[in-house]
Structure 1
């Protein structure tokens, strides 16, 4: 794709997103034909959204667990952006009307204390572990903002940040004070009913492995992670789609509890 096509595709995606209009297939000449083109469009989408005072705050990693790979039919991780206005504290009440079709996932989130820049690649698990500052129990908020996501393909979903719509964070815990993230057991509870369970090992074998994948993925594109940025490492459970009035509670052993209401 040429630069003009990339920008035109990004404009259509950003407009649909800000207007909460379900996104259908892009015009044929603007459809990314591979994931590399999807990430090029995604970068432009980030710039367009940042111009609307949506400060870029970090990344989410999708398809890091088998349950999510099977659900979406994509056998490898995918990355998307997270914006500051979409980050909330535990206990928040959010309007379902602010989304097209809102869903939630149970996640381990980390905030970086050191940069992970392209010149320092490749990154191992040990190197990225040293960059982790705080950890959080997290609810990732996802939005099915598509006419039918199953027909769009991974490149277009990547261009639109792979369903990303924000997150809710539990209290920060210093990385040195948390247990082995691979051993964390997580539970998704909706309206008091257990609807899903998973473990840190479900996330590419270890959530820090997912972080290393992201750092190397970005480095290959000439991008990096910066101190202070947040990374959602991937869902321990299958996405749960919500309706108005639903109350969400995620419990992650050793990391704590995070809750939100959708009204």
Structure 2
């Protein structure tokens, strides 16, 4: 009978011992997109489209303060049912652009000329901050885009396109606000500008004041090119303060029947000598 070992058996090797270490587990990769599964386009609802259409019409003055709107007529003109129109109207009511009454129906909200002074005070505070923050983050692309808008405003002024001037002015300030990287500042700026645009539907800006706007925008651009946050903030505040002063003068002039100082000067040059209206001293 063969001899047998009586000692303890050696331990069995553990899994993996005696072999090269296994490669670390790889990070799971997302499954490949199917060839036919392209990115879906961003689709907006009919209510969103109706909302944007009406909001733009209010901003451009195509729907003026006090205009009456009928649900059935809006639905027919826009080629939709009453449901998206009702949703859009509710949003515009919440924003204060439309008002509804039991007897009056839906109307475009009137512009409170007294509150417009508060709007410009808010702009002066907010846009000064916007200018400083935008200058910190500004790059050549932002300055080039703002300069393109600036040049387009010059062209619109030359042709007397007041609607384009208002839209380009809003685009200039909105682009500056978006450059801050803060969505809330962009939204506040856009809302304040919309109020100003609605106000100017009933109180248009004279060509001479649009030239002042362009000169003030040029100062903002120069400060941005220098990369100076404090100078940019100062230029934006000076711009909004100047426009607030102009609006106050225009409102006072409308109340007294004299118009702004610029408008009075234009009348004085147009009137024959000796027939000029007396001016307040």
Is TM > 0.5 for Structure 1 vs Structure 2?
Answer: no
**Which structure is higher in strand share?**
1
Which of these two proteins has the greater Rg computed from alpha carbons?
Answer: 2
Normalising by structure 2, we get a TM-score of 0.26
Q: Identify the structure with bigger relative contact order (alpha carbons < 8 Å, sequence gap 6+).
A: 1
**Which structure is higher in helix share?**
2
